[in-house]
A = this chain, B = another copy of it.
Amino acid sequence: MKNTKLSVNDISQKLLAGDVVALSRAITLIESKKNTDQKLADRLLKKIVPHTGHSLRIGITGSPGVGKSTFIEAFGKHITSLGKKVAVLAIDPSSAKTKGSILGDRTRMEELSKDAKAFIRPTATGTSLGGVADKTRETILLCEAAGFEIIIVETVGVGQSETAVRNMVDFFLLLQLAGAGDELQGIKKGIMEMADAIVITKADGENEKKAKQAQTEFFQALHLFQPSTSAWQPKVLTTSALQKKGIEEVWKMIQSFQLHTAKNGFFNKNREQQKLEWFHESIQLQLKERFFKSKKEVAKMKSLEKKIVNGEMIPSKAAEEFVLSSIRKR
């Protein structure tokens, strides 16, 4: 926070009044690795926590090429056209290496980024997925405090990031392309069953028929899984962001999910559980960071791993040795 003398009080007041410049600064603050910034961020978060939790949080995932940006832009514009404020955040563990592959380029949602009711923010980079998830969760709270009513958390279909996003949102949407009759092949393990809905994109022109077929197949496939605790039957819809078709239906479906889960109590129970999971994950993360940071400890771990792989040590005993020596050192 160079070049500014804004105090935590100033930032929080402006943020709570909906000022997006203050919101951006607040996010930069919580993402900062500087000790002084972190202390300010802690004070800021403490101030805004009573004003959080009132948004609807939607997770969206899909492989590259599925038309994610186009969908989110159309979907976001629909939400703002209803007079609601929407924030788009992103989790992309790979961006630590590729420097923001997912949202680095804000122009990929050109219209939405110019919308006064929309806020687009790329992912925090440079740390582990756990660290990124931690910061994204805090960013959700900041956006809520700034009056955003719909929070979209976007991710790309790599590794564990879907699970991380699933654990911080109310509704999880999987985007899929209609392929050539073979659409069920190669779905990433475990992702389909986390979805509250599958939306088949680019259902226009010659693709429309294929998309309808895929809709039926996905619907049948979703029946393979046990009903989730929300007692919500996952839906499959088709959209064309190009022709602006189906977008309204997706929004209506998500609203009916919200109504359904508010009624049966799942919505709040899920939120509560997510908070507790965040707490426990964060404890693990911080223990790890506080204990295994030093070069000496990394070297010790590597040497134990070598012994384990060579069959010289039993993993549980190596772990004991490692933990005991780490504790003794402080």
Q: Which residues of A contact B (CB under 8 A)?
A: 42, 45-46, 49-50, 52-53, 134, 137-138, 141, 184-190, 192-193, 221, 223-226, 272, 275-276, 278-280, 282-287, 290-291, 304-305, 308-309, 311-320, 322-323, 327, 330
Contacts and interface: CB of A to CB of B under 8 A. Distances in A.
21 contacts: A45-B317, A49-B313, A52-B311, A137-B315, A137-B316, A138-B314, A188-B226, A189-B225, A190-B190, A190-B193, A276-B309, A279-B305, A279-B308, A279-B316, A279-B319, A282-B316, A283-B319, A285-B319, A286-B320, A287-B287, A290-B327
Contact of A315 (B189, B190, B224, B275): B275
A319 B284 CA distance: 9
B134 A316 contact: yes
B319 A224 contact: no
A272 B315 CA distance: 11
Contact of A319 (B286, B315, B318, B330): B286
A176 to B, nearest CB: 13
Given A278-B315, A282-B318, A282-B320, 19 more contacts: A45-B314, A45-B317, A46-B317, A49-B314, A50-B311, A52-B311, A53-B311, A138-B314, A187-B224, A187-B225, A189-B225, A192-B224, A275-B308, A275-B315, A278-B316, A279-B318, A279-B319, A282-B319, A283-B323
Nearest to A193: B189
Nearest to A313: B49
B226 A323 contact: no
A323 B287 contact: yes
A265 B138 CA distance: 43
A315 B314 CA distance: 35
Contacts of A224: 184-185, 187, 192, 221, 224
A303 B224 CA distance: 40
A141 B308 CA distance: 13
Contacts of A190: 190, 193
